[in-house]
Amino acid sequence: MSWMLEDFEDLDNPVTFSIDPSGVYDWIENGYSKLDEAIGDLWGKVDIRLNPEVTIREVLVCGMGGSGIAGDIAGSVVYRDLPVPYRVIKGYRLPKSTGENSLVLILSYSGNTEEIVWCYMQAHNHGAQCVAISTGGAIRDMAEKFDCPHIPLPDYYPAPRLALGHLLTVILSCLNEAFHGLGYLEDSLRESVTILKQGLNKYSKDLEFEKNFAKKLAFDIHNAWPVIIGTELTWPVAKRFQAQLNENSKWPAHASMLPEMNHNEIVAYSQPGPATKKTGVLMLRDKDDPARVQHRQDFTIDLIQKHVAWVHQLKGEGRTQLGRIMSLLQTADYTSYYLACARSLDPSGIRSIETLKERLGKLK
């Protein structure tokens, strides 16, 4: 018996996309214009009100889901140039080091994310320099109560994961205000707008299946358990790709990272077996990956490709690192969207997350 019993609907048939009542496709397609809007609204215009007498010694970005991923992407882009440690917090607790020398960015699109509300309270109690970022909710109310800066986000996005352009831009804008030497990020953001606009020609739903890599990748994923392998430069893309497949497509996926996976996972994928042959590998590559890492990618593919269902290599396009990251993220967005529609599933639906929140809300 085949493990896959559901149909894969025709992605060249317009009827297939009627499963998208929220218009997720339009939000993906207009991602470039929303990023451009975010740059105009935020770059050079955020007021984070840092105490000039206090030296920042660490940056903590508190965010879950799409906010956390935005923090990961920002960290990947600036970590070489940021003069202090940078960490993304995805949970309830801040490190013991949190204090007046900490810059804590509090991100929650809704403003009511439970874990981030807890983090905000801790950061305030420890005397950290906090910047709250949300559309409103408890986070905005706390900022007013604490007399801390609050940066409002537009509330028109139907899901936080679609607000990545604004979330990423606001983080980078805050970092640019707090530290010298990050002005190049504006150029990176503007290049990303151009790259996303150009990418529309490659992934449009009007482009037939045989010429559309995102549609073809969605088909391959439908027949496998995908493992997305990133590097130090592309790890946030691997995590975002996984999350988009999870939320949009309702499909299990796993994100891994080189060189660490060469010390464990490679043993599993290079061994023939029933699970291995149902595993697909997507290798994310960047032109600035260190030479040793690029050799590891080549050797890893050579060792596993005979045993797994398929291997695809995906390389971002662009002059800047952020531009290449956004190029890869665009592929993830379209692929996950097409897989959802091909499975006859609403890409906007996240009922299990809503149910979990409802249950948590009933706890005392």
Residue 1, in any domain of the structure: no
The pLDDT of residue 362 is 87
Q: Is the pLDDT of residue 224 over 60?
A: yes
Domain region containing 313? 14-20+199-342
Q: How confident is the model at residue 364 (pLDDT cuts 50, 70, 90)?
A: low
CATH classification of the domain holding 268: 3.40.50.10490
Whole-structure pTM value: 0.95
Contacts of residue 182, defined as CB under 8 A and 6 or more positions apart, other chains included, come to: 78, 81, 82, 172, 175, 176
Asked whether residue 357 is domain-assigned, the answer is no
Whether residue 359 is contained in a domain is answered as no
Q: Is 327 among the domain residues?
A: yes
Q: What average pLDDT score do residues 314-339 get? A: 97
Do both 177 and 248 map to the same domain? no
Q: What is the mean pLDDT of the chain?
A: 95
| Contact (Cβ atoms closer than 8 angstroms) between residue 242 and residue 359 | no
Position 3 scores a pLDDT of 53
Residue 114 has which token pair?
Answer: 């439970």
Please check the confidence at residue 357 and state whether its pLDDT lies above 90: no
Distances (CA, A) of 173 to 63, 78, 96, 182, 209: 16, 12, 26, 9, 39
- Whether residue 106 is found in the same domain as residue 226: no
What percent of the chain lies above the pLDDT cut of 70? 98
Cα 88 to Cα 67: distance, rounded to the nearest angstrom:
10
Could you tell me whether strands 254-257 and 279-285 are parallel, antiparallel, or unpaired per DSSP bridges?
unpaired
Asked if the model's pLDDT at residue 189 lies above 70, the reply is yes
Q: Is the domain of 121 the same as that of 206?
A: no
> What tokens does 177 get?
């205000």
Do 134 and 152 contact (CB within 8 A), yes or no?
yes
* pLDDT band with cut points at 50, 70 and 90 for residue 4: low
Residue 289 has pLDDT above 60, yes or no: yes
* In contact, 20 and 348? CB cutoff 8 Å: yes
Same domain, 302 and 171: no
User: CA-CA distance, 153 to 157, in Å (whole number)?
Assistant: 10
Asked whether residue 147 is assigned to any structural domain, the reply reads yes
Provide mean pLDDT across the span 325-346: 97
Is the domain of 220 the same as that of 97?
Answer: no
Same domain, 165 and 285: no
Query: What average pLDDT score do residues 169-189 get?
Result: 96
Tens digits of residue pLDDT in 251-273: 999 999 999 999 999 999 999 99
User: Is the domain of 178 the same as that of 302?
Assistant: no
Cis check: omega of the bond before 259, within 30 degrees of 0? yes
Mean pLDDT for the stretch of residues 95-102: 96
Neighbour count for residue 240 (Cβ, 10 Å)? 27
Q: Check pLDDT > 50 for residue 1.
A: no
What is the total count of domains within the chain? 2
For the annotated catalytic residues, the residue numbers are 247, 263, 357
Distance CA 309, CA 116 (A): 39
Structure confidence by residue, pLDDT tens digits, 121-142: 999 999 999 999 999 999 999 9
- Rounded Cα distance between 72 and 255, Å, is 14
137: which 2 tokens? 């909710």
- The side-by-side arrangement of strands in the sheet containing 225-230 is 254-257, 225-230, 279-285, 310-315
Going by C-alpha positions, the residue among 247, 249, 254 that lies closest to residue 228 is: 254
Residue 61, strand partner residues = 88, 105
